[in-house]
Amino acid sequence: MKEFLDVEYKEGLQIDIYLPDNCEDGYDVFVYFHGGGLEKGSRRGTKVFAQPLCEKGVGVASVEYRMYPDAKFPDFIEDCAEAVAYLKAHAGEYGKLRRIFVGGSSAGGYLSMMLCFDRRYFEAVGMKPTDIAGYIHDAGQPTAHFNVLKMEGEDSRRVIVDERAPMYFVGMDAEYSPMLFIVSDEDMFARYEQTLLMVKTLEHFGHKENVYLSLQHSKHCKYVFKRDDDGESVFANIILSFLDKVFPEE
């Protein structure tokens, strides 16, 4: 695995990039947004799932983005869109890019959903959501994020579906890239139920065929950095299983 750390994609913000050793022959990249409630967390620590993904030809780009209290909505979403656009523009410097996948865990899952469903963020950087081959939304909040509500003086427990919520935009586009939703049966309070509602809302608009759900028996996102009894990355195996379903011949 090749490592390119502290790559600046905009002033003051960086990406850590992990790529397959043979990326010159062609590679995919999974752009990952970390969790932490939009106020903490780090792009570091992803090697546990980056290594096995790279062994299968899928690089990982772990993104730093602005967070509360220094940021305000939607700074963090705009940063993530710019990071993806930067990687798309510069991927050729590392090898032959085949496909880009986008995802994140917890707050990062909220960010990947906002990019997937509110096309304005990608359009602002000259892209569209369907430029992404697939999305991995891991335990993200499909309604307005609780910390977005809190920082704007609202009760963080409220369930609000407005332009701060990925769910608000479902059905506005006729086409979506394949996507995986990951959630746990012991997830954050109401996260399981909200995720099921998000999936069902997509199905209601006729998008059942390219929407996948992975249910984990775990606490919130504990599987992301966990290894199974065979020493394999649980999160990497979830992602690879999804990719095998979407691109079974490749």
The pLDDT tens digits for 154-212 are: 999 999 999 999 999 999 999 999 999 999 999 999 999 999 999 999 999 999 999 99
Cα–Cα–Cα angle for 21, 229, 23, rounded to 5 degrees? 10
Instruction: Give Cβ neighbours of residue 174 (< 8 Å, ≥ 6 apart).
Output: none
Whether cis (ω within 30° of 0) applies to the bond prior to 166 is no
Please give the pLDDT value at position 247.
86
Helix axes 47-55, 234-246, angle to 10 degrees: 40
Neighbours of 84 (CB within 10 A): 27
pTM of the model: 0.97
Residues 117 and 81 sit within 8 Å (Cβ to Cβ) = no
In the chain, domain spans: 2-246
Which fold does the domain 2-246 belong to in CATH? Answer: Rossmann fold (3.40.50)
**Percent of the chain whose pLDDT exceeds 90:** 96
Q: Which residues contact 96 (CB under 8 A, 6 or more apart)?
A: 23, 24, 25, 26, 27
